[in-house]
Amino acid sequence: MLKITPEEIKLITKYIYEISGIYLDESKKYLLETRLNGIAEEQGCTSYQDFYKKAKMDPSKAIERKIIDAISTNETLFFRDTGPFQLLQHKIFPELIDARASKTPVLKTNLKIWSAASSTGQELYSVAIVLQELLGDLSKYSIKLLGTDISDAAVAQASSGKFNKFEIERGLARDKLTKYFTLAGQTWKINDQIRAMVNFRKFNLMMPFAGLGKFDIVLCRNVAIYFTLEDRKKLFNKIADVLEPDGYLIIGSTESLTGICPRFIPKRHLRSIFYQLK
Amino acid sequence: MNPDGYPLTINGAPMNTMTILVADDDPVIRKLFEKRLENAGYEVTVASDGFEAARLLDATTFDVVITDLVMPGDIGGIELLKIAKEKSVDIEVIVITAHSSVDTAVDAMKKGAVDYLEKPVNFDELFLRLEKIAEVKAMLKNAGDLREAMNVTESSAAQTIQDLEIVNSNQQMLLDKLEAILKNSYKDEFSRIEEALALLESR
């Protein structure tokens, strides 16, 4: 395996920060080596200095994309941590649908939901499944579920709606598995009806949020932990800008907005917390 | 495993603790499997056909099923493989095949068999495969244990953080109110202080 020197760690972590906003400190030597070694060898690099140059000079940005795919953590599960999904099912969806339906009783009820770091799609598909179970007939609603991630590979897999047995078996109950997925060879594929509810695309959370529109619910779980404090503040400020005045923000169960964004107030429902604008 | 086929031991306890079900209609082969596997420290149960094997699978669970592909009756090796996998995907199935029917064995692997062995069975090879299976099972168990430990830590940390988040938010709201009271220039200083103290005492 290609060894990385302390100088190269500085160089590479700075480069990763520039292209993705992911902040790795110098203790992440092992992570860098294990995740980047494959790409470095594939590119025939003799050192990480060389690797850095090749990545920066590559006009197609293919190496840059591969680095982002390798470095962004894709640990995600269907219904990872049941709290947020129970929160959506029993509190947020009923409240929101009530509020929206009484506002426009004649028109279709609009709902816009954004999974800001959707990884390989499990979270957003889980949200879609909860909505389907809760509402049954979706024809009275106009529901837009958007998933974005910085990794092309993650977005591609999310869009395919295909999961292997390890990705699917953890977290997903047997009844939901057989109801919403079909087995094709070794992979499970999400049913067309659920697939049609969601959209995935590449997006870097460091960029301006112009053009995204407003959302009723934003899920931004376990991604800000990879950002610097300054970037976290900017991120949640931008999220506050794109949230409807009565919208909901859900962050990771071990994350906190204390000292990050005073525009949000935390509210508790059972064993979960969600945030709303002041 | 040492060359004599006896299990390596840790503090006297055998290392091979997997339970194995062997299904073969040839009594000589069955006996051979039973003896060699038992000598190697595995816990072995034998079945003389697919039906008996299916019945045993229904009653109890096994880590590994070793089955002949061709057996008399309606339940052959492929059917037994299906039954085992339906019971639990964690049951690993090794199929035994005649040299001439390797294609069927490959087909069995597509259907979920972990490996196949050709007749006559080379036991050294079988022991190697079984050790690999045990290794993978141990790793999966370890990963599962780690995930479990992570979930416990995460949910306990989450409760602490959420409690702090709410407490902090309430304190912040109190501070905001106090600030508004104390800065209220329509009232004299004394009544501002009195009002601020009343708010603090009412908590």
pLDDT for B77 equals 94
- Does A77 score more than 80 pLDDT? no
- Chain A interface residues (partner B, CB cutoff 8 A): 81, 83, 165, 169-170, 253-258, 262, 265-266, 268, 271-273
Joined tokens for residue B134? 């045990």
Q: Determine, for residues B158 and A266 on separate chains, whether the beta-carbon distance falls below 8 Å.
A: no
A254, amino acid identity: T
- Does B5 score more than 50 pLDDT? no
B50 beta partners: none
pLDDT for B1 equals 44
- Does B202 score more than 70 pLDDT? yes
- Does A106 score more than 80 pLDDT? no
pLDDT band at B7 (very low <50, low <70, confident <90, very high): very low
Which alpha helices (H) appear in A136-225, and where do they start and end? 152-160, 165-169, 174-180, 192-195
CA gap B67, A180 in Å, rounded: 34
What Rg value do the Cα atoms of chain B yield, rounded?
33
Segment B146-164 mean pLDDT:
90
pLDDT-wise least confident of A72-86, A183-197, A262-276, B4-18: B4-18
Residue from A258, A271, A272, A276 whose CB has the most chain B CBs within 10 Å, to mutate: A258
Length of chain A counted residue by residue: 278
pLDDT-wise least confident of A20-34, A109-123, A264-278, B122-136: A20-34
For residue range B64-115, list pLDDT tens digits in order. 999 999 999 999 999 999 999 888 888 999 999 987 788 888 889 888 899 9
Strand, helix or coil for residue B33? helix
pLDDT-wise least confident of A75-84, A179-188, A198-207: A75-84
Which alpha helices (H) appear in A58-121, and where do they start and end? 62-71, 82-87, 93-103
Measured in Å, how far apart are chain B's first and last C-alpha atoms?
A: 70
pLDDT for A159 equals 97
pLDDT for B103 equals 87
Q: Determine, for residues A257 and B165 on separate chains, whether the beta-carbon distance falls below 8 Å.
A: yes
> In this structure, are strands A272-277 and A264-269 parallel, antiparallel, or unpaired?
antiparallel
CA A161 to chain centre: 15
User: What Cα–Cα distance (Å) separates residue B198 from each residue in B78, B127, B177?
Assistant: 80, 79, 12
B98, amino acid identity: A
Question: How far is the alpha carbon of B152 from chain A, nearest alpha carbon, in Å?
Answer: 11
- For residue A273, the chain B residue with the least C-alpha distance is B162
Question: How far is the alpha carbon of B86 from chain A, nearest alpha carbon, in Å?
Answer: 13
Segment A67-87 mean pLDDT:
81
- Establish, for the pair of chains A and B, how many residue pairs have beta carbons separated by less than 8 Å: 40
pLDDT for B6 equals 47
Segment B41-51 mean pLDDT:
96
Residues A151-184, buried b or exposed e (16+ Cβ, 10 A)? bebbbebbbebbbeeebbeebbeeebbeebbeee
ipTM of the complex as predicted: 0.77
